[in-house]
Structure 1
Amino acid sequence: MSNALANGLAGAGGGIIAQIITYPLQTVNTRQQTERTAKKKSLAADGAATAPAPPGGGTLFQILQVIRTEGWGGLYSGLKPSLVGTAASQGIYYYFYQVFKNKAEARAVARKKKGLGDGTVGMFSWLVVAAVAGSVNVLLTNPIWVLVTRMQTHTQAERKIMEAKREAMLMEASDADATDMEAFKEKLSELDSTKPHPFGTFHAAREVYNETGIKGFWKGLIPTLIMVCNPSIQFMIYETSLKRLQSKHSENKRRMKNITPLEVFLLGALAKLGATVSTYPLLVVKSRLQAKQEIGRNVMLRYTGTLDAIIKMIRYEGLYGFYKGMGTKIVQSVFAASVLFMVKEELVKAILFLTDESRKILLTFGK
């Protein structure tokens, strides 16, 4: 088995495990990112309808709130397509990353033979390798993440729709006479007792298609493509740190050359932390575009594209809007990346070991 394929399979396996462990945090974080909360001055100036109040409490409180109102299933909305997306995304990414990495390393060795360079891959080359692999991954898997975002935020969107309908009914009731009040109360009671309808992968796909057609499955593509710099930064930090750590191990008096799983875990955490903090605003914009657009008269709740989303977020929410839920995301992404790197490295070793053992057995029987 090729090194690239082994890394692809290990990346998919590590990604699935990390996703299952951290998915509740991801669900809450997506809801935090897509929550619109306008500045008071903006609302007064534009005469807009009252903005939705931000969810109270911290991340733990919101997790408990979801469990109370939606059950444990609410924390795992969209898990199935998310696992498919994670396996496909990590598999595709690591496969192409290893392919391009092998080419970059071969080129560096060739340059050394010509007297150019020291035979190692430079920092800029790591960025390019990760960026190209990330771009291929984004183009192929973006539709899956659109569906996952829709499913994670469906209950939140349904609640906003119900609130808008209730507000409209209350405004109508203020103009109604006494004879219409009984009918109004009945309609209001019926509205309040309405429960969100089941919303699976097929429902999410149909909703996206009915809104904007096939192109809807690539919503948020522009910020997502720009965000390939996230794994680029992540892998640049990881590969550079790993190389330095390996160098220190080789110089160690105890001659401990192998990197331990704990060291890989910590390197993965450091790499993901740096990448997440620097690219988080783009992640918020992407989530806003992929989620169901809010209804109602408030223009701050609807976006027509990436630039429109950025302008409206700055105008109505300020810079704070771009960093909503960042604390949750840092915890989720750093822990997920740490688990992923640790599991991936161990799976690569296991896959290559099993492949090597299988080859030996075949050679033995072939004699």
Structure 2
Amino acid sequence: MSDALINGLAGAGGGIIAQLITYPLQTVNTRQQTERDLKKEKRKLGTIQQMCQVVKQEGWGRLYGGLTPSLAGTAASQGVYYYFYQIFRNKAEVAALERRKLGIGDGSVGMFTSLLVAALSGCVNVLLTNPIWVVVTRMQTHTKISTKPTPGETPLITADEAVLAAAAEPPPYGTAHVVQEVFDEAGIWGFWKGVLPTLIMVSNPSIQFMLYETMLKKLKQSRASNKNGNSVVTALEIFLLGALAKLGATVVTYPLLVVKSRLQAKQLTTGDKRHHYKGTLDAILKMIHHEGFYGFYKGMRTKIVQSVLAAAVLFMVKEELVQGARFLLTKNAINTVKSKPS
């Protein structure tokens, strides 16, 4: 089994575990990003309060809306990303060693090269998996409309209409329904909505990996320079390095994430032009005009908690899986050699 395949499978496993742990936060965050007209009282709701509100009004299931395609997307994204990252990284390391033979550099991969490797891996990942995330965003932002008015509110429908609505079977909104909906709206290209800001968002994992690799390298060098020469990094340290790297990357690139979510969410069919985005530039201009720069940072606190926690868990689990796989492969290879007759 190649090192790239080991890293790809480990990345997929780590991503799935991180997704399962943080998915309710991701659902709430996507809703915050795509909300156009927040009322003043709704803005005061914190993340936990909004989660409780979703559970109370729509049920526990809505916090996990789109979980199945999201897990598939996470496994595919992390697998593809880490697979190609390791391939590009190996080529960069070989090139760095060749340059050292020519008297150029110290044989290690520099910060700029690490950034380029992460960016190339991210572009491949985005182009292959964007359709999955369009479906996930639709399912996360889909809400069940309640026919029950809140206390003191005038009902929008008559009592007879409410009875009929309650008796009616709600339309399905599973993966197949969303796929058909996206195709009916924009054809096959509808599955690549938001791909431009998503490609630009490649800078997020690129910055994240650049920070992570740099901090990890410095930590190992610091450990190696000690008298005992032990450069082993613990799982907890990997967790903290992953969290710090993701925090820095998220703060820098968050506005692009909001634009991407707006484009991928179902466009509202009201007559209000503020809710219709023709493309990336149109979305940016309308958000600036109607919402101000605040609109680009909606739900940022929730995203920081979710993404930092998810990234930290992913890095920790992925590294443990990689080490475990390498240990098993090495052990099997040794046993195979020993079992051969001399």
Q: Report SS of the residue matched to 2:107.
A: coil
Q: Does 1:144 align with 2:100?
A: no
How much does 1:255 deviate? 3.1
1:338 aligned partner, one-letter code: A
Q: Which residue, out of 114, 117, 130, partners 2:118?
A: 130
Taking a change above 3 Å as real, the CA distance of residues 191 and 244 of structure 1, as seen in their structure-2 partners, is farther
Cα displacement string for residues 258-290 of structure 1 (whole angstroms, at most 9, x for unaligned residues): 001111111000100010000000000000000
Cα displacement string for residues 124-147 of structure 1 (whole angstroms, at most 9, x for unaligned residues): 101110000000000000000000
Partner residue, 2:17: 17
Cα distance in 2 for residues equivalent to 1:52 and 1:295: 24
Contact 1:220/1:287, CA 8 A, preserved across alignment: yes
Q: Which residue, out of 235, 250, 254, partners 1:276?
A: 250
Contact 1:37/1:54, CA 8 A, preserved across alignment: no
What TM-score do you get using the length of structure 1 for normalisation?
Answer: 0.86
Partner residue, 1:226: 200
Partner residue, 1:174: none
Cα displacement string for residues 90-136 of structure 1 (whole angstroms, at most 9, x for unaligned residues): 00000100100011111111101100111111111011100000000
Q: Does 1:353 align with 2:327?
A: yes
Cα distance in 2 for residues equivalent to 1:132 and 1:226: 12
Query: Structure 1, unaligned stretches of length 5 or more?
Result: 39-50, 164-168, 171-183
Moved more, 65-74 or 28-37: 65-74
Q: Report SS of the residue matched to 1:304.
A: coil
Q: Which residue, out of 143, 146, 162, partners 1:189?
A: 162
Structure 1 segment 331-342 matched on structure 2, within 5 A: 331-342=305-316
Structure 1 segment 111-260 matched on structure 2, within 5 A: 111-155=99-143, 159=145, 185=158, 189=162, 193=166, 196-260=170-234
Partner residue, 1:97: 85
Contact 1:35/1:54, CA 8 A, preserved across alignment: no
Cα distance in 1 for residues equivalent to 2:238 and 2:213: 11
Cα distance in 2 for residues equivalent to 1:111 and 1:65: 58
Q: Does 1:76 align with 2:50?
A: no
Contact 1:37/1:52, CA 8 A, preserved across alignment: no
1:25 aligned partner, one-letter code: L
2:185 aligned partner, one-letter code: E
Taking a change above 3 Å as real, the CA distance of residues 352 and 234 of structure 1, as seen in their structure-2 partners, is same
Structure 1 segment 31-110 matched on structure 2, within 5 A: 31-37=31-37, 54=42, 56-110=44-98
2:120 aligned partner, one-letter code: V
Q: Does 1:286 align with 2:260?
A: yes
Cα distance in 2 for residues equivalent to 1:119 and 1:231: 24
Moved more, 298-307 or 192-201: 192-201
How much does 1:52 deviate? 10
Cα distance in 2 for residues equivalent to 1:353 and 1:246: 20
Taking a change above 3 Å as real, the CA distance of residues 55 and 188 of structure 1, as seen in their structure-2 partners, is farther
1:249 aligned partner, one-letter code: R
2:162 aligned partner, one-letter code: S
How much does 1:365 deviate? 3.0
How much does 1:54 deviate? 4.5
Q: Which residue, out of 227, 232, 239, partners 1:265?
A: 239
2:98 aligned partner, one-letter code: A
Contact 1:36/1:54, CA 8 A, preserved across alignment: no
Cα distance in 1 for residues equivalent to 2:87 and 2:158: 65
Cα distance in 2 for residues equivalent to 1:13 and 1:151: 23
Partner residue, 1:180: none
Contact 1:56/1:62, CA 8 A, preserved across alignment: no
Percent of pairs identical after alignment? 63
Cα distance in 2 for residues equivalent to 1:195 and 1:301: 29
How much does 1:159 deviate? 3.9
Cα distance in 2 for residues equivalent to 1:272 and 1:69: 32
Cα distance in 2 for residues equivalent to 1:241 and 1:277: 18
Cα distance in 1 for residues equivalent to 2:255 and 2:247: 14
Q: Report SS of the residue matched to 2:122.
A: helix
How much does 1:188 deviate? 5.1
How much does 1:341 deviate? 0.4
Query: Structure 2, unaligned stretches of length 5 or more?
Result: 150-154
2:72 aligned partner, one-letter code: V
1:189 aligned partner, one-letter code: A
Partner residue, 1:327: 301
How much does 1:362 deviate? 2.4
Cα distance in 1 for residues equivalent to 2:231 and 2:182: 51
1:70 aligned partner, one-letter code: E
